[in-house]
Structure 1
């Protein structure tokens, strides 16, 4: 890993098809994921995010801009996570690539999931 920069080089394998990691940025916990968020990985995704969130009160950003595939199970996990954050009065935002954004908008969850176009937008929305 020497020579690599950025959070992607630090992602750990959660399942065969999903890697994840987090960093603290601008007073927020920023989670980065790559691969597929689907029926095979949503349980590990939820466990990982919930475990990290337990240790902090910071706002959270879920960055799915490097996710290749999101299915209904993945959407369900995101909804469950959004509900937990709302119940805990924790600010959060979701960032996605065009495929993720299209899927979220198709089921009209963009407001509920606080969908942002990119990471800087998500961070500035949470800072406001």
Structure 2
């Protein structure tokens, strides 16, 4: 599989640290796994994409769907990113919608607000 990661569940949030490619090949499994975890709760999600080598339109579409799913469940989804992912997200002007964050610590502070 081109995408791998770990999941850390805390009282009020989940952190996913992902590596590899978030593309048309990995997107269906990514969306299903993260979507199921949002349903299980907690509903605040931090996706750490700092080690992602590539994201395409399928990956961006999955992120948009997951943000909406988290918000519907009463939570939030934030993305900790790297320059490559940030550039791709900014090209389609989704940086605010996807709540791009420079670090996990800042994302955690945003949950507590």
Q: Same fold (TM over 0.5)?
A: yes
Aligned with residue 98 of structure 1, among 83, 97, 100:
83
Relative contact order (C-alpha < 8 Å, sep 6+): which is higher? 2
Deviation track 1:51-87 (CA, whole Å, cap 9, x = no partner) reads 2222213411011111000001100100111111122
The 1:25–1:99 alpha-carbon spacing in structure 2 relative to 1, beyond 3 Å, is: farther
Determine which of 10, 23, 28 is the counterpart of 2:13: 28
Question: How large is the RMSD of aligned CA atoms in angstroms?
Answer: 1.4
Q: Which has the larger radius of gyration?
A: 1
* Separation in 1, partners of 2:52, 2:105: 18
How far apart, CA to CA, are the structure 2 residues paired with 1:86 and 1:58? Answer: 8
Q: How many residues align?
A: 113
4+ residue runs of structure 1 moved beyond 4 angstroms? none
| Unaligned runs of at least 5 residues, structure 2 | none
Which residue of 2 is the match for residue 3 of structure 1?
none
Contact map agreement 2:43 2:75 (CA 8 A) in 1: yes
Q: TM-score, normalised by structure 1?
A: 0.82
2:40 to 35, 46, 55: 55
